[in-house]
Structure 1
Amino acid sequence: ERFIKTAWTDEGEIMGVRAKEGVFGDAPVEGVQFHPESFLTKQGPQMLANFLGVK
């Protein structure tokens, strides 16, 4: 496998992945399931802050 699962729902649906080292050269590559309307939810801003590493 070229990717590591980094986030998932309680139902097991994959919501985030990270490319294993060397898959895309030296650049780290992350991917997340994102829908702009999630910012309309109570947890939307916290989700983005978590991804960006903002406390």
Structure 2
Amino acid sequence: PSSLEVTARTEDDIVMGVRHKNYKLEGIQFHPESFLTPDGLKILKNFICL
């Protein structure tokens, strides 16, 4: 939709993140297994601090 802007894509051009243009609203592709990696908690904290 025109109210969203893409904020992240993969190298294959797949949309992984969006932001609403008028509201403080972010969306990301969520992979729960990524939080079990050594940097998983850091990734989660960085997103929460947006």
Relative to the length of structure 1, the TM-score reads 0.65
**Is 2:31 aligned against 1:35?**
yes
- Please give the root-mean-square deviation of Cα atoms over the aligned residues, in Å: 2.0
Relative to the length of structure 2, the TM-score reads 0.70
Question: Any gaps of 5 or more consecutive residues in structure 2?
Answer: none
Question: 2:40 & 2:11 partners in 1: Cα distance?
Answer: 17
Count of residue pairs brought into register by the alignment: 49
Q: How far is 1:2 from its partner?
A: 1.1
Bigger Rg, structure 1 or 2: 1
Question: Any gaps of 5 or more consecutive residues in structure 1?
Answer: 22-26
